[in-house]
A = this chain, B = another copy of it.
């Protein structure tokens, strides 16, 4: 058997997946004991010059993707649509789905997880949150025995980079944002990051995982980092504190609550030292106590690695199940 893979979206992340599947080809094949074949890549612009072999179907038409055999779809598109429509199609087609799309998965995760169950396929979403840092798998693992009391996280690298620049180099917000844009950490329109939407989506995904439920979106307090002035930063520094953009998810009276907002953290807070584009989660549990996990929040290879870990996870599970009964 060969595992047939389709990649949807060929931006930074999609390309990273393609590259990693090639550079780590032998290693991955050994882990799976099965060859992997990329059958199709769905792109936006088919005229763009890409260095891809002829054996791979490059298409702008999702129907052509599913005219080929597909065992798993790696979805690396940005935004809700058409990504949602495509992954729904994939699940109904009987393919596993691995997604890096936080906006889509925050909106439709609950429904997609149900749909996947019905169709006996699996959805991997490690790459949606904190890039390559394995937060989803770690929380999932803890949930085996522990109940999660709360999660606090720095889940947007751009905002954290800006706040770090403002703190370490006394930059103004505008200068720090410019630096982030020059380094490629921030988009030309930075709203998604600095106004907290990106962190909001990740918080909803974490809530779904930790509590099998999301808060009512209207009741989530959402504040970005534009309100933090240089004066605020200086005041915090004098007090031995740092401003961080923190997503908090917790269970209150049996229902999940969340807030995403700038917070002044003391030196002994587990997120105090998370600087630059780094992401981190601090997870409070009933038995294990407090666990903190930090690492790269984005990036081509970390995100690709997270997606491929999901891919290996699902097929190793399948293979184990088969091996047992051969």
Interface residues of chain A, those whose CB is within 8 Å of chain B, are: 20, 24, 27-28, 31, 132-134, 137-138, 141-142, 144-147, 270, 272-273, 285, 287-296, 299, 301-302, 304-306, 308-309, 312-313, 316-317, 320-321, 324-325
Contact = CB atoms under 8 A, between A and B. Distances in A.
26 contacts: A27-B147, A133-B288, A134-B142, A137-B137, A137-B141, A138-B138, A141-B309, A142-B309, A144-B309, A144-B313, A288-B295, A288-B301, A288-B305, A289-B299, A289-B301, A290-B295, A291-B293, A291-B294, A291-B295, A292-B292, A292-B293, A292-B294, A292-B295, A293-B294, A321-B321, A321-B324
A137 B291 CA distance: 14
Nearest to A137: B141
Contacts of A141: 134, 137, 309
A308 B145 contact: yes
A118 to B, nearest CB: 16
A31 B132 contact: no
Contacts of A294: 270, 291-293
Given A142-B309, A145-B305, A292-B293, 12 more contacts: A24-B287, A27-B145, A132-B287, A133-B291, A144-B312, A144-B316, A145-B308, A273-B273, A287-B304, A321-B321, A321-B325, A325-B325
A248 B301 CA distance: 25
A163 to B, nearest CB: 17
Contacts of A299: 289
Given A292-B295, A294-B292, A304-B287, A309 B138 contact: no
A82 to B, nearest CB: 28
- How many copies make up the complex? 2
A289 B295 CA distance: 8
B293 A293 contact: yes
A227 to B, nearest CB: 27
A273 B242 CA distance: 15
Given A145-B309, A312-B145, A289 B293 contact: no
Contacts of A321: 320-321, 324-325
Contacts of A304: 287
A75 B155 CA distance: 38
Nearest to A32: B144
A62 to B, nearest CB: 27
Nearest to A290: B295
A268 to B, nearest CB: 8
A293 B130 CA distance: 14
A308 B144 CA distance: 8
Give 7 nearest A-B pairs by CB, closest first.
Answer: A287-B305, A291-B295, A132-B288, A321-B324, A144-B312, A289-B296, A287-B301
Nearest to A323: B321
Nearest to A16: B287
